[in-house]
Amino acid sequence: MIYLDNASTTKMFESAAGQYQKYACQLFYNPSAFYRPAREVKKGLDGARKCLLERLEAKQGQIIFTSGATESNNLAILGSRRNGKWEYVFSMGEHPSVFNVARELERQGCVVHYVLLKNNGEIDYDALENVVNEKTRLVCVMHVSNETGVLNDIKKVSQIVKSKSKALLHVDGVQAFNKIVFSVDELGVDSYTISAHKFHGPKGVGALYIRNQSSLKSIVFGGGQENDLRSGTENVPGIMAMKEACEQINVLKNFEQTQMLKKALVQILMEDKNIKIVESYSPYILSISYHGVNGETLSRALQDEGVLVSTGSACSTKKAGNRILESMGMRKEEVVSSIRISFNAYMSKAEVEEAGRKILECAQRLSSLKI
């Protein structure tokens, strides 16, 4: 089986699984307890925070451990709310764990603005500048699109937001962290979401970077863990496995390797003029469509041939259409025929080339059935 749905989830490193087992079965102590073994576990958590801050190239701020990207995004958005007639700004390219929170804010009576995407998939920076004002409390813009791999210029977004308001800037960095090189300090973000299972760590654990703790309030109440911003006993095995996965990744080396794999696949796919490819910065994600062939049908046919791809975000597969591709101005038939291919750096070129040939074979066969 050739797995090409790594934007959905990745296989956990064996060394990360080893750390998980170690902290689940040997060093299983509650880090909030007072005795020595528990204090050693707490030191381990502090080391994990340091590891993530270093990878984010953050000289200030802190890491709040969460159950994953959905909770991190909810905490960043709902935790930023304050009394008063504030406004909120979201790009149309956001993941459901951000976009659906925006919809909830609307239902609660908040003023919410949505910024459309340009045809290349980036946020419309001019439209963003026009909507941000002194009443803006929070702006949310994804770093790398989980649908297309398109990179938003977060530094430019930050400059726009800060020049027109005192708003907070939250960035969903799930498809960027440990995949591209950046510094949250240089980007100018106030909060940034991380999810472990997107970079070969375990599911059910993630983190939220926050520049200034006073910018957020807790949305979960209890024992006051995580500096009183996320109560509940920490998922120590998951956190330590996430740290191990982070330390195993060489971002630059993996970027170059994955870029080579993506180019090899694109070279094969471009042999057929019926394929449309969405250009993107990230080598980890490739969105394509085959004229006249339904994307879901193609993905099912590929599964029968031993190739696993998706038709978009695994968190929105039950929804009709594709909000992000539609926001880019893609025609309905292009949206319906789209599939998402996503890589990891540990695949072989031979695997990718075989997958490319099978994609062409399946798409051409399905296309011929319509004649």
Domain boundaries, the chain: 2-9+250-369, 14-248
Q: Which CATH superfamily is domain 2-9+250-369 in?
A: Aspartate Aminotransferase, domain 1 (3.90.1150.10)
Q: Residue 314 carries which side chain, given as an amino acid letter?
A: A
Which tokens hold the place of 33? 């307890």
Q: How confident is the model at residue 234 (pLDDT cuts 50, 70, 90)?
A: very high
Question: How far apart (Å, rounded) are the C-alpha atoms in residues 101 and 71?
Answer: 11
For position 181, what pLDDT does the model report? 97
Question: How far apart (Å, rounded) are the C-alpha atoms in residues 168 and 190?
Answer: 6
- pLDDT tens-digit readout, 170-202: 999 999 999 999 999 999 999 999 999 999 999
Question: How far apart (Å, rounded) are the C-alpha atoms in residues 288 and 149?
Answer: 11
Mean pLDDT of 113-117: 97
Q: What is the pTM of this model?
A: 0.95
* Lowest mean pLDDT, pick from 10-19, 317-326, 332-341: 317-326
Residue 318 predicted with pLDDT over 80: no
For position 312, what pLDDT does the model report? 64
Compute the CA torsion angle 111, 116, 122, 125 (nearest 10 deg).
-70
For position 316, what pLDDT does the model report? 47
> Hey, which residues does 88 pair with through a beta bridge?
112, 138
Q: Rounded to 5 degrees, what angle do the CA atoms 259, 264, 267 make?
A: 120
Mean pLDDT of 296-312: 95
* Lowest mean pLDDT, pick from 83-87, 112-116, 148-152, 254-258: 83-87
* Lowest mean pLDDT, pick from 55-64, 214-223, 341-350: 214-223
* Lowest mean pLDDT, pick from 154-158, 248-252, 325-329: 325-329
Question: How far apart (Å, rounded) are the C-alpha atoms in residues 110 and 117?
Answer: 22
- Residue 288: exposed, middle, or buried by beta-carbon count in 10 A (0-12, 13-18, 19+)? buried
3-state class of 363 per DSSP?
A: helix
Pick the residue with more confidence: 261 or 327? 261
* CA 258 distance to own-chain centroid: 17
Share of the chain above pLDDT 90, in %: 90
Q: Which of 140, 246, 315, 362 is catalytic?
A: 315
Q: How confident is the model at residue 322 (pLDDT cuts 50, 70, 90)?
A: confident
Q: Is 315 a catalytic residue?
A: yes
Interhelix angle for 295-304 vs 349-369, to 10°?
A: 120
For position 321, what pLDDT does the model report? 63
Q: How confident is the model at residue 348 (pLDDT cuts 50, 70, 90)?
A: very high
Look over the chain and give the mean of its residue pLDDT values, rounded to a whole number. Answer: 95
For position 329, what pLDDT does the model report? 85
Q: How confident is the model at residue 84 (pLDDT cuts 50, 70, 90)?
A: confident
Q: Write down the CATH number for the domain with range 14-248.
A: 3.40.640.10
Compute the CA torsion angle 71, 193, 104, 91 (nearest 10 deg).
-160
Give the DSSP letter string of 281-329.
Answer: S-TTEEEEEETTS-HHHHHHHHHHTTEE-BSS-TTSTTSSS-HHHHHTT
Q: How confident is the model at residue 145 (pLDDT cuts 50, 70, 90)?
A: very high
Cβ neighbours, 10 Å, residue 26: 9
- pLDDT tens-digit readout, 3-17: 999 999 999 999 999
3-state class of 174 per DSSP?
A: coil
Mean pLDDT of 51-68: 97
Pick the residue with more confidence: 194 or 326? 194
Residue 301 predicted with pLDDT over 50: yes
* Lowest mean pLDDT, pick from 81-85, 276-280, 316-320, 364-368: 316-320
Q: Residue 184 carries which side chain, given as an amino acid letter?
A: V
Q: How confident is the model at residue 317 (pLDDT cuts 50, 70, 90)?
A: very low
For position 313, what pLDDT does the model report? 52
